[in-house]
Amino acid sequence: MEAMLVSACLRGVPCRFDGRHKATPQSAEAVAGRTVVPFCPEVAGGLPTPRRPAELVGGDGQDVLDGTARVVDDTGRDVTAEFLAGARRALEAARRTGCTEALLMPRSPSCGRGEVYDGSFTGALTRGDGVTAALLERHGIAVRPAPGV
């Protein structure tokens, strides 16, 4: 059975910034027949649950990987190092378990694919990927956002 890395919050783990999960029937259906490897890069990077909401500032996850953007929480605290550490640990977990695909939480500064919050903390979205999504893609792991979230 093929393994898939999945945002832990989509599997019912209460690890989101607000201490909740985002499991949906649609995300469960999307992984049917796969070996699921649940993973939360933000927790793996050393951030607590619950935690302050964070957004990408100055670009997206690709730019964070390149050192030209950062991740900050809503108080202005720079949490880029934690997001990078979590992304590296997610990549390690994917490689260790043979994942070639990931189903990640939409719009997240870690897991977002295609669009993320714009750094204004107003709910506005911009095109781009989260830090973990960007790192996984750079290493050949196909990333898609979870449906129904």
Q: Residue 145's pLDDT is what?
A: 96
**pLDDT at position 119:** 97
| Residue-range definition of the domain harbouring residue 121 | 3-145
- pLDDT bracket for residue 40 (50, 70, 90): very high
Q: How confident is the model at residue 1 (pLDDT cuts 50, 70, 90)?
A: confident
pLDDT at position 127 is 97
What is the rounded CA–CA span in Å between residue 122 and residue 90? 28
Supply the pLDDT for residue 19: 98
pLDDT of residue 120: 98
Instruction: Tell me the pLDDT of the chain averaged across its residues.
Output: 97
The answer, yes or no, to whether residue 132 has pLDDT greater than 90, is yes
pLDDT digits (tens, 9 = 90+) for 64-92: 999 999 999 999 999 999 999 999 999 99
Q: Considering its fold, how many domains does the chain have in total?
A: 1
> Could you give the C-alpha distances from 34 to 1, 57, 69, 103, in angstroms and in order?
6, 35, 34, 11
